[in-house]
Amino acid sequence: MDESLDGMVRWHARHRADASAVICGDARRSYSELYDRSGRLAAGLLATGLKPGDRVAILLPNCIEYLELYLAAARSGLPLVPINAALTGPEIAYILEDSGAALVIAADGLDVPEGLPVIRDLAALIDGGSALEAVVPGPDAVFFQGYTSGTTGRPKGCVQTLGAFVEHFRRSFGLYRHDADDVMLMPGPLFHEAPALFSLAQLYYGGTVLLLSRFDAATALTEIGTHRATTIGFAVPTMLDRMIPAAREHDTSSLRSIVTAGAPLHPETREGTLRAFPTAALHEFYGGTEIGIITNIEHRAGRAFGSSVGTAVPGFDVVLLDETDQPVAPGEVGLIYVSPIMMAGYHGRPQATADATRTLDGVDWLTLGDLGRLDEDGHLYLVDRKSHMIITGGENVYPAEVEAVLAEHPAIDDVAVIGLPDADWGEAVTAVIATTGEAPDLDSVRTFARARLAGYKTPRRVVIVDEIPRTASGKILKHRLRNDLAGGEPPSEPGGR
């Protein structure tokens, strides 16, 4: 049996033709429809003159067509470059240029930088497409090039092959047991790797993906009851926070499993989720675009381990290294490295790939730059996430990028951007500003930043100080700022994403 992504979905299309593959609002696709449409989409894209290996950038909201595009990529050899449509024009232009995208598929009304062909009418492409001629990308073919940022805040393209994604599916099955009877609610955006990975794993094993076009807590809870969803495939903690207060008003008794990651799971969120969804196991994993799922913990059974993100999943190992690349003792803090390495590398950045890897006793290891500690039982506890990275509502924000924009504000002499604890967003993007003139207010800072950055990157709080603390070499002492401000009440107000 062909156990590639294409082969497994083809099997379901043949043997379970009418089974529901994807539901999104009032739209539905059976497995036979999904497979036929993805083949026509693949043929239509190749008919534009694209060749296997050419990158196709995607700027779409969650929709069934997004998953059809992933399957078309698996059948055509055209790797996808999913892009967050909330990014600004310059941010999108950078990713398009860096990725080498040959074509863009974008939603109506969304501005796309000039210079590349754009397809907006996927229905016409599918309806006009013929049956796909034999194109069989192998496991080493590039499938996904998702953009993740490094310590400088400049996005890097993380290259994943078809074979790596299938390994992810099998790992997910071993942990969460996808099967043909499962209905998986997917509230996360498909431009992120984890929602895409979990959705495709569900299709790989023949279940139903219950896709939300955008996250709304009331809609999510209603859909769970209406379709008797058995799992929430991937939800960042902020989503769980939104669902907890209203969960008792809905029938969620069909749920057996909830999976979360992407931001710190605070104790109140963890315990609130366990109370609000009493039939469901609560899984939390540690991973990333480069590595998929590395550790996992089920919190209902693992309450004794508190904030642990779990132990290494079967087939993978975790080691913590000190500054001399030597393993640290249990309980000591070290840089987290994982093995085996699943990504093919950072696109066009061999040095960045080399900087993130180490070889110990003939084994290659990769780090995301996170610090952690391991206890005697092998449970991993995160200490800091990618140095100074801020995680707000499940989205990664890199202070250097925001600081570079705010430094251009005419009323700002010096600035540091940090994340401070926030009950709604996990962390609030906070601009600490020094100025010799009239201090800008929050509205001024947000308006200035929003013209240049995505909404989720703009500051939700502004703190005015006399001086930004720095080392003798000029580096900002961000740990001091966080410690000084975390217990206070800096000015804040809601802001849009």
Q: Is the pLDDT of residue 268 over 90?
A: no
Pairing verdict, β 414-422 and 395-397: unpaired
| Number of domains observed in the structure of the chain | 2
Q: Which of 203-217, 438-452, 460-474 has the lowest mean pLDDT?
A: 460-474
327 inside domain: no
What average pLDDT does the structure give for the chain?
90
Q: Is the pLDDT of residue 83 over 90?
A: yes
Give residue 474's pLDDT band: very low, low, confident or very high (50, 70, 90): low
State the pLDDT at residue 114: 87
State the pLDDT at residue 472: 44
Mean pLDDT over residues 254-276, rounded?
91
126 inside domain: yes
Mean pLDDT over residues 264-273, rounded?
88
State the pLDDT at residue 454: 92
Give residue 112's pLDDT band: very low, low, confident or very high (50, 70, 90): very high
228 inside domain: no
Residue 406: CATH number of its domain: 3.30.300.30
131 inside domain: yes
Mean pLDDT over residues 316-321, rounded?
95
Q: Which of 82-96, 142-156, 364-378 has the lowest mean pLDDT?
A: 142-156
Residue 168: CATH number of its domain: 3.40.50.12780
Q: What is the pLDDT of residues 4-22, one digit of tens each?
A: 999 999 999 999 999 999 9
Structural domain including 454 reads 390-485
State the pLDDT at residue 62: 96
State the pLDDT at residue 9: 97
State the pLDDT at residue 189: 93
Give residue 273's pLDDT band: very low, low, confident or very high (50, 70, 90): very high
Determine the 3-state secondary structure of 80 from DSSP: strand
Give residue 338's pLDDT band: very low, low, confident or very high (50, 70, 90): very high
Decide which of 214, 245, 266 is a domain's last residue.
214
State the pLDDT at residue 224: 98
284 inside domain: no
Mean pLDDT over residues 209-215, rounded?
97
Decide which of 155, 187, 214 is a domain's last residue.
214
Q: Is the pLDDT of residue 394 over 80?
A: yes
Name the token pair of 300: 């209902």
424 inside domain: yes
Give residue 478's pLDDT band: very low, low, confident or very high (50, 70, 90): confident
Give residue 212's pLDDT band: very low, low, confident or very high (50, 70, 90): very high
300 inside domain: no
129-132 contacts at long range (C-beta below 8 A, 24 or more positions apart):
129/39, 129/40, 129/41, 129/42, 129/43, 129/44, 129/47, 130/40, 130/43, 130/47, 131/39, 131/40, 131/43, 132/39, 132/40, 132/42, 132/43, 132/46, 132/75, 132/76
338 inside domain: no
**Cβ neighbours, 10 Å, residue 314:** 9
Percent of the chain with pLDDT over 70: 95
Q: Is the pLDDT of residue 88 over 50?
A: yes
Give residue 381's pLDDT band: very low, low, confident or very high (50, 70, 90): very high
Mean pLDDT over residues 231-243, rounded?
92
Burial string for 195-228 (b: 16+ CB within 10 Å, else e) reads: bbbbbbbbbbbbbbbbbbeebebeebbebbeeee
Q: Is the pLDDT of residue 356 over 50?
A: yes
Give residue 491's pLDDT band: very low, low, confident or very high (50, 70, 90): very low
Decide which of 214, 241, 266 is a domain's last residue.
214
pTM exceeds 0.75 = yes
State the pLDDT at residue 475: 58
d(CA 430, CA 180): 45
State the pLDDT at residue 39: 93
Q: Which of 190-199, 266-275, 391-400 has the lowest mean pLDDT?
A: 391-400
User: Which whole-number Å values give the CA distances from 432 to 27, 105, 439, 470, 483, in the listed order?
Assistant: 46, 39, 11, 13, 13
State the pLDDT at residue 126: 87
Mean pLDDT over residues 404-431, rounded?
91
Q: Is the pLDDT of residue 488 over 60?
A: no
